């Protein structure tokens, strides 16, 4: 049946999966650059720890607010802003001087990257029938693990070639390219012209069927 209804949903899954890869790339560069940063700025381990944790603080604190915004506004514009902002934050790290501005850039990065995984989860509900959501979610998680595997050696190579700032230039440019691609390609199912009527109906029927099955299940029936 899947071959007949089209594969637009899997194209969207690929787009978001690549976003997960790029998203994690931007996080690995700081760990690779740690030794060089400490040497250049004369940072203590405590100071370096503050820089390394800055991303996690803003990322964690904005997860719930971002989730609320995603439910109210939707994926498209939140992610458009997020991808552009995390590109700017990464490039900012490559340009600025001084630990204060580096901390600021990492705080901004945490806020900007917070929508990625909630957006991927919400898009799964938009684009996939219930019976395929486990596979789609697993694909996003696999993309994250894959990014961890290839991100460190690629960023380490760029640092060895161009210094620690080179790692941020590499991931920043990659992020900016992804932001442009996302801006052009991502649409919600209701406005996606490339989505066939058959595939649109396929997803809708599955969602309606699941809602009906849950409604009439023995647990929900009052006897």
Per-residue buried b or exposed e for 94-118, using 16+ beta carbons within 10 Å of the residue's own CB: bebeebeebbbbbbbbbbbbbbbbb
What integer is the mean pLDDT of 147-168? Answer: 91
pLDDT in tens, 38-76: 999 999 999 999 999 999 999 999 999 999 999 999 999
What pLDDT was estimated at residue 219?
43
Q: Provide long-range contacts, Cβ within 8 A and 24+ apart, for 162-168.
A: 163/36, 164/32, 164/33, 164/36, 164/37, 164/40, 165/94, 165/95, 166/94, 167/29, 167/32, 167/33, 168/29, 168/33, 168/90, 168/91, 168/93, 168/94
Whether pLDDT at 162 is above 50: yes
Nearest to 113 by CA among 138, 144, 81, 142: 81
The secondary structure of residue 196, as a DSSP letter, is -
All structural domains of the chain, each given as residue ranges with its CATH number in brackets, are: 7-216 (1.20.1250.20)
Nearest to 61 by CA among 16, 111, 14: 111
Residue-averaged pLDDT of the chain: 85
What pLDDT was estimated at residue 197?
61
Nearest to 26 by CA among 99, 100, 138, 112: 112
Q: Which of the two residues, 211 and 151, has the higher pLDDT score? A: 151
pLDDT in tens, 170-197: 999 999 999 999 999 998 877 766 666 6
Using CA atoms, how far residue 155 sits from 102, 116, 169, in Å, is: 18, 21, 10
Nearest to 17 by CA among 171, 143, 182: 143
Residue 176 CA from chain centroid, whole number: 13
Q: Which of the two residues, 27 and 113, has the higher pLDDT score? A: 113
What pLDDT was estimated at residue 38?
92
Q: How much is the pTM?
A: 0.82
Whether pLDDT at 134 is above 60: yes
């Amino acid at each position: 049946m899947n071959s007949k209804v089209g594969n637009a949903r899997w194209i969207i899954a690929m787009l978001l999966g690549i976003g997960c890869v790029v998203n994690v790339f931007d996080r690995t560069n700081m760990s690779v650059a740690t030794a060089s940063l400490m040497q250049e700025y004369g940072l203590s381990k405590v100071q370096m720890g503050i820089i390394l944790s800055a991303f996690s603080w803003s990322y964690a604190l904005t997860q719930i607010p971002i989730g609320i915004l995603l439910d109210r506004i939707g994926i498209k514009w939140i992610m458009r802003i997020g991808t552009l902002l995390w590109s700017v934050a990464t490039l900012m790290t490559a340009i600025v001087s001084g630990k204060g501005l580096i901390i600021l850039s990492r705080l901004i990065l945490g806020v900007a990257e917070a929508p990625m995984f909630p957006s991927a989860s919400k898009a799964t509900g938009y684009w996939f029938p219930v019976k395929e959501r486990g596979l789609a979610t697993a694909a996003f998680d696999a993309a994250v693990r894959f990014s961890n595997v290839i991100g460190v050696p690629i960023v380490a190579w760029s640092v060895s070639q161009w210094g620690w700032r080179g790692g941020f230039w590499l991931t920043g440019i990659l992020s900016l390219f992804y932001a442009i691609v996302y801006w052009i390609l991502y649409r919600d199912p209701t406005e996606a012209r490339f989505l066939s009527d058959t595939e649109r109906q396929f997803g809708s029927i599955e969602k309606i069927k699941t809602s009906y099955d849950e409604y009439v299940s023995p647990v929900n029936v009052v006897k």
